[in-house]
Structure 1
Amino acid sequence: MKLHRVPARTGLLWVRLGLRTFARQPLAMGGLFFLFILGVSALAMVPVLGAPLALSLVPAATLGLMAATKEADRGRFPMPAVLATAFRAGRERVHAMLLLGGLYALGSIAVMALSALLAGDVPKLPADGTEGAEAVLDNPALLRHLAWQAVLYIPLGLLFWHAPALVHWHGVHPVKSLFFSLVACWANMGALLVFMLGWAGVFFAASLVLVLLSSLLGGAGTLQVLLFPVASLLSAAFFTSLYFTFRDSFLTDEGTPPA
């Protein structure tokens, strides 16, 4: 495996490829993303161990969505079983993916703990979710907590950006995959920045369209109805584009894309 540096404009290409591939198989990619979110959310509700277990499955689930994108890009319909791709590659690769998932869970917990420490005392929402909730949401400590989380998740995200694909498709050791992922992201930081700005523009444009539609069709009620499905579909399209960021960031020893 060799690092492949790409120009910054490639970031927009990744956005277009993600949107185009999603448009080819919107039901499949949208449904797989929904299953991913549903499974992780359901597991997270299990007392005590649920949240760490849910976090540990994120790299494997992300790999599953990348494998689905690979299928859709080749004109095939990705079936739900593709989400379990990481666990159908032999015992060694499964163990490596589980180790990577454990590292991701530890990293996420560390980010949340450190952001809470830096933000100070973060108030908790009331148990019934009603009385006092508005005061909690307006508390500056909560905003600081969320801001610190966003900042601290950036290095964690770069470490794990390409790691699941490197572990699964190319047998890279989980710890080494984190290093290679970070180096590749740093080398192609311009393209990744354009990629993120491009997706920010897509979400912003979609938000404007929703606001205009809601003003024409019934106000805030219409906006509330449309917001969740549109945000979910755009998030699915975003995850669809992740495969292309990996494919173009590495080359095999023969000089061809890795997957």
Structure 2
Amino acid sequence: MKLHHVPARTGLHWVRLGLRTFARQPLAMGGLFFMFILAVSVLAMVPLVGAPLALALLPAATLGLMAAAKEADRGQFPMPIVLASAFRAGRERARAMLLLGALYAVGSLIVMALAGWLSGAPTLTLESQDGQPKLEEGALLRNLAWQGVLYIPLGLLFWHAPALVHWHGVHPVKSLFFSWVACWTNKGALLVFMLGWSAVFLAVSLVLVLLAQWLGGASVLQVLMFPVAALLSAAFFTSLYFTFRDSFLTNDGQPPA
């Protein structure tokens, strides 16, 4: 395995590949994403341990969606079992993915704790009319802003890590290092990739607003917003596979997966 440097314009190519592959199998990719969101949401509701467990499963779930994108790119119909790909490649790979998930959960909890401390968001004020404690709006916005900033390095560490662990048996700790280096090597392409997806989300949002105004206003927008956002998110996760595929080469110069 070796790093593959790609030009910045490749970021737009990844966006197009994600949208095109999703369009080939919209029911499969959309359904798998809804299953992923449902499973994580239900698990997160378990008292005390639910949220950390949900965080720990995110790398494996992301890998499952990448595996589904790989099948869809090859013209195959991804079945629901593909979401469990991380745990169907042998005991050693499953243990490695669980360790990677544990590292992600710890990192996420640290990010949330730091964001709360830096923003003062844990402070509650009695602002609601019924006397119930309500989080100060300014502190909440600061907390979200700090989380967004602090999640960037965490996201880069784990961007390619699940794929490296699952498809190439890289040790979880080493996969974090390789993921960071690969993201830094192709930072121009990743920046264009994120800007491209931001433009897609913005364009679709504007279309939804105009459509809602034409059809009946805010109530229509509320009905359309969640399913459309979920489908776009599924297309985004579909495109993650291509960012991995083009960022590494095997020793014979071929894409790794």
TM-score where L is the length of structure 1: 0.95
Tell me how far apart the structure 1 counterparts of residues 249 and 238 of structure 2 sit (CA, whole Å): 20
Shift in Å at residue 134 of structure 1? 11
What is the aligned partner in structure 2 of residue 193 from structure 1? 191
Deviation string, structure 1 residues 181-215 (Cα, Å, up to 9, x no partner):
00000000000000000000000000000000001
Tell me how far apart the structure 2 counterparts of residues 79 and 125 of structure 1 sit (CA, whole Å): 48
Q: How does 1:15-164 map to 2 (within 5 A)?
A: 15-123=15-123, 136=135, 139-164=137-162
Could you list the runs of 4 or more consecutive aligned residues of structure 1 that deviate by over 6 angstroms after TM superposition? Answer: 132-135
Tell me how far apart the structure 2 counterparts of residues 177 and 55 of structure 1 sit (CA, whole Å): 18
Kept in 1, the 8 Å contact 2:121–2:142? The answer is no
Residue 68 of structure 2 aligns to a residue whose secondary structure is helix
Kept in 1, the 8 Å contact 2:21–2:73? The answer is yes
Residue 152 of structure 1 aligns to a residue whose secondary structure is helix
Structure 2 vs 1, CA of residues 133 and 149 (structure 1 numbering), >3 Å: closer, same or farther?
Answer: farther
Equivalent residue letter for 1:54: A
Shift in Å at residue 124 of structure 1? 5.8
Equivalent residue letter for 1:160: F
Structure 2 vs 1, CA of residues 158 and 219 (structure 1 numbering), >3 Å: closer, same or farther?
Answer: same
Tell me how far apart the structure 2 counterparts of residues 123 and 88 of structure 1 sit (CA, whole Å): 44
Shift in Å at residue 120 of structure 1? 1.2
Task: Name structure 1 gaps, 5 residues minimum.
Answer: none
Equivalent residue letter for 1:165: A
Kept in 2, the 8 Å contact 1:55–1:108? The answer is yes
Equivalent residue letter for 1:212: L
Deviation string, structure 1 residues 210-250 (Cα, Å, up to 9, x no partner):
00000100000100000000000000000000000000000
Kept in 2, the 8 Å contact 1:125–1:132? The answer is no
- Of 238, 241, 245, which aligns to 2:239? 241
Residue 140 of structure 1 aligns to a residue whose secondary structure is helix
What is the aligned partner in structure 2 of residue 202 from structure 1? 200
Kept in 1, the 8 Å contact 2:161–2:179? The answer is yes
Shift in Å at residue 135 of structure 1? 6.4
Kept in 1, the 8 Å contact 2:121–2:143? The answer is no
Kept in 1, the 8 Å contact 2:93–2:165? The answer is yes
Kept in 2, the 8 Å contact 1:123–1:142? The answer is no
Equivalent residue letter for 1:142: L
Tell me how far apart the structure 2 counterparts of residues 226 and 182 of structure 1 sit (CA, whole Å): 37
Tell me how far apart the structure 1 counterparts of residues 36 and 200 of structure 2 sit (CA, whole Å): 22
Residue 254 of structure 1 aligns to a residue whose secondary structure is coil
Tell me how far apart the structure 2 counterparts of residues 56 and 124 of structure 1 sit (CA, whole Å): 29
What is the aligned partner in structure 2 of residue 2 from structure 1? 2
Count the aligned residue pairs.
Answer: 256
Task: Name structure 2 gaps, 5 residues minimum.
Answer: none
Deviation string, structure 1 residues 86-105 (Cα, Å, up to 9, x no partner):
00001110000000000000
Kept in 2, the 8 Å contact 1:210–1:223? The answer is yes
Residue 57 of structure 1 aligns to a residue whose secondary structure is helix
Structure 2 vs 1, CA of residues 131 and 29 (structure 1 numbering), >3 Å: closer, same or farther?
Answer: farther
What is the aligned partner in structure 1 of residue 228 from structure 2? 230
CA RMSD of aligned residues (A): 1.8
TM-score where L is the length of structure 2: 0.96
Kept in 1, the 8 Å contact 2:125–2:134? The answer is no
Equivalent residue letter for 2:165: V
